[in-house]
Every structure is written in C-alpha cells, then in structure tokens.
Structure 1
Amino acid sequence: MTNHHQRTSTPSGPPPTPRQQRYLRQLAIQRGVTFVVPRTRAEASRAIDALKRRTPEPFADRRRELRALQRDMACNRGDDARVDHELETEGYGSTATWKQADL
C-alpha cells in the first residue's frame, strides 16, 4: 500500500525570504484566497505571480465578511457544537471519558 502523505520531492533551493512571505500573505488577503506555504524562493515567486494575475476582491466585500465574522464571534454563534466539559465528560486529559446519559 502506498503512503499518501509521503513527500514527493525535497526542497531544492533556498527557503523563501521574509519579504516574499509577507507579500504573498498580503496578496492572498487582498484576493480573498488561501495559498500553500512555499518551501523555496522559486515556489514563492511563482505563487506571487499567480496571485498578481488574479483580480483583487472588492474592499467592501472584505470589510463585510470581516464584520460578519467579528459579530459571530462576539455573539458566541456556533458554540452549540462545543463540548461542555463539566456536564458531558469525566476525568482529565487522556483518561477523560464521556459521561453516561441517564435513561
């Protein structure tokens, strides 16, 4: 069976410069996309060129998305999926277990 998590190649070349990394993050934020962290300067340069070809996301859209995220975080939306450790679990760390529901 093959190992799907095995690296296909080793990085050949110097690592990306801090300046390249900052510029790459800035472009990704402006374009509203994510990116794979480059391992070499050449990969960083190709990623920067690809992001520069994309059109920037409108500022109003970025601001609207950021405000919606801040509002959701302030109102604790999505907390229904959070585990209440005092009511639902027993023990601590690796010995923690789910409490049995009373039927």
Structure 2
Amino acid sequence: MWRDTPEYLGELLIWEIEDYLTAQTAKPERARVAFIRLADEWAAASIGAELETGGSFYAAAKRADSLGMTTPGDMFGVVTRDEHPEIFKAVPGTTFPPAPDGDGYVIIRLVAFEP
C-alpha cells in the first residue's frame, strides 16, 4: 500500500488542479449572495462605514435590524449575471458598497458562485 501512496497523491493533485482550472474558465451565470436592505441614505452610510472599517457583515446586518434601519426582504438570495454583472468580477467574500434599491439601499455580499 505504501508504494502506491505517492502515485495516488499525484493523481489527487492532478484532480485538484483540474477542478481549479475548470472553476477559473467556467463563467457562472448565478451567484448566491447576502443582502442588507436599508431604509434610507443615513442607514446605508452608517452600515457602509462600519463594513469599510472591517466590521462583520452579519454583525452589521443584525445591528441594522435591531436599530430599525432595515426594510423587509430576504437576507439570502440568488442573483444572475444580467441583474448584477459587477458581482461576477469579484471573488466570494466581497462586500459591495451601498447602492440605491427601490425606495432604500442595499449592501450585497457575494457568498458563492453556482455552477
């Protein structure tokens, strides 16, 4: 068994490299995201500033909700390339600055791309 271990590890490395290259060349059309939906410009500036200084996205969302700064809506969702093309130029974990959304503002965090 020990003689086959280097060969197996070599094959495993090749599979990991192939998966990585496939992920780099595939162009996903959907992404899973988290939202903080904010009621007004002041709330967006306040929470946006907290996130710019390295605050946790989820802690900021909880704080905004507890202070009545949020608007109704799902915290998690899926967006498409057509809806938010800028998201598909980022890496998972990226938090985007507040942007106008209907009557309020939204802060989006890219969670993952869907295959």
Q: Establish whether TM, by shorter chain, passes 0.5.
A: no
For the superposition of Structure 1 and Structure 2, which TM-score range results when normalised by the shorter chain? Answer: under 0.3
Higher strand proportion (structure 1 or 2) = 2
Quick one: higher RCO (CA 8 Å, sep 6+), 1 or 2?
2
Higher helix proportion (structure 1 or 2) = 1
